[in-house]
A = this chain, B = another copy of it.
Amino acid sequence: MDYTDEVMSLPAQVLSSAPFELERGYRHIVFSGMGGSGVVGRIASEFLSVPVVLVDDYSLPEYVGKEDLLISISYSGNTEETISVTQMALERGMDVVAITSGGRLSSMVRKVVKVPGGLQPRAALGYMLTPVLETFIGREFRKERVVEAMRSVEGRQEEIGGLAKEIVSGRLIPVIYGFSPFRAVAYRWKTQFNENAKIMAYSNYFPELNHNDTVPLKGTYRKEEFKFLVFWPPEDPRIGKRIEVTEQVTGSRFQRIEAISVDRVSRLFELIYYGDLLSLRVAHERKVDPRDVSVIEELKGRLL
């Protein structure tokens, strides 16, 4: 499959995914995952109403044990860090659910949510995220609406193309400002700019950024080399006010990325998909291959 088709299969991934069964209640839901697979846990921590613990390293926290569930997510099933964490969980006698297309992970764990293989992990987010959200917040997850929201993004190609051209012609560094419950989406955009478009990018979120980024937004050098983007509108009017006042007091203009859909799960996927398509367009403008992450493959090879 062509990489653009991979990325644009996100709506179909949502439609073809299903929830899984939980055997019992748990104290914490622990997510292990890195990069494109790790973003699932980050999103879950904002959308689930149960305590979520995120692990994006080699080890489980000491306090995690049998009363907790580990959801191990590795698209390839061979991510070194996730294998290490899963091994620790099994040694502690924990229940584990693996979400993977295969690899070592699928043979370590009894309960596997098997997802189709052959994609780049970051283009398989729908397969990995949908089962988690449907399992934990199924009633809020209205698939038809979610897909409709993503279709509306496909109709905004001109807007997306204009933004991509502006970023590439100015050699700009995107900085994406999010807010709850879309902090992880801002981070997802950063990683998609990094891996699809091969450019530096950073994310941050309100209101915390009013306690750090705000000062250099007024006083820094090189400000004109960044492109500041912000999701819009926020649910909380206090955050909306903060965004506007931050622009005023620092003399900045943040480009608003408007989410059109109404419910939060639709917005979530709408914003994810917008970032996916934008990062693809930036890659095309730069004439780099958005699929290629050979540098990471090389790194993994040298770590062995």
Interface positions of A (Cβ within 8 A of B): 28, 34-36, 38, 49-51, 53, 56-58, 61-63, 81, 171, 173, 180, 190-191, 193-195, 198-202, 207-208, 210-223, 225-226, 236, 238, 241-242, 245-246, 248-250, 288, 293, 295-296, 298-299, 302-303
Known contacts A35-B212, A50-B63, A210-B296; 4 additional CB pairs below 8 A are A51-B61, A171-B222, A191-B211, A200-B220
Q: How many Å lie between the Cα of A242 and that of B61 in the bound state? A: 21
- Does B238 contact A58, Cβ atoms closer than 8 Å? yes
A63-B51 in contact given A246-B299, A295-B250 (Cβ < 8 Å): yes
A200-B222 in contact given A28-B51, A207-B58, A208-B38 (Cβ < 8 Å): yes
- Does B198 contact A216, Cβ atoms closer than 8 Å? yes
Interface pairs (29), CB distance under 8 Å? A28-B51, A34-B211, A35-B208, A36-B211, A38-B208, A49-B61, A49-B62, A51-B53, A57-B180, A58-B238, A191-B211, A194-B214, A194-B216, A198-B215, A198-B219, A199-B216, A199-B220, A200-B223, A200-B226, A202-B202, A215-B295, A215-B296, A218-B295, A219-B288, A222-B225, A225-B225, A242-B303, A246-B299, A249-B298
- Does B299 contact A210, Cβ atoms closer than 8 Å? yes
User: Using Cβ atoms and an 8 Å threshold, which residues of chain B touch A28?
Assistant: 51
Q: How many Å lie between the Cα of A49 and that of B199 in the bound state? A: 37
- Does B200 contact A245, Cβ atoms closer than 8 Å? no
Partner of A299, one of B195, B226, B249: B249
User: Using Cβ atoms and an 8 Å threshold, which residues of chain B touch A303?
Assistant: 238, 241-242, 245
A156: min CB distance to chain B, Å: 25
- Does A34 contact B295, Cβ atoms closer than 8 Å? no
Nearest B residue to A190, CB-CB: B212
Nearest B residue to A302, CB-CB: B245
User: Using Cβ atoms and an 8 Å threshold, which residues of chain B touch A241?
Assistant: 303
9 smallest beta-carbon distances between A and B, as pairs: A35-B211, A198-B219, A191-B212, A171-B221, A194-B212, A202-B202, A56-B208, A245-B302, A218-B295
Number of copies of this chain that the complex holds: 2
A198-B180 in contact given A245-B302, A248-B302 (Cβ < 8 Å): no
Which of A61, A62, A215, A246 is packed against the most chain B CB atoms within 10 Å? A215
Nearest B residue to A293, CB-CB: B215
User: Using Cβ atoms and an 8 Å threshold, which residues of chain B touch A214?
Assistant: 194, 295-296, 299
Q: How many Å lie between the Cα of A238 and that of B34 in the bound state? A: 16
Nearest B residue to A56, CB-CB: B208
- Does B299 contact A245, Cβ atoms closer than 8 Å? yes
User: Using Cβ atoms and an 8 Å threshold, which residues of chain B touch A62?
Assistant: 49
- Does A215 contact B236, Cβ atoms closer than 8 Å? no
Nearest B residue to A36, CB-CB: B211
Partner of A199, one of B221, B298, B302: B221
- Does A249 contact B215, Cβ atoms closer than 8 Å? no
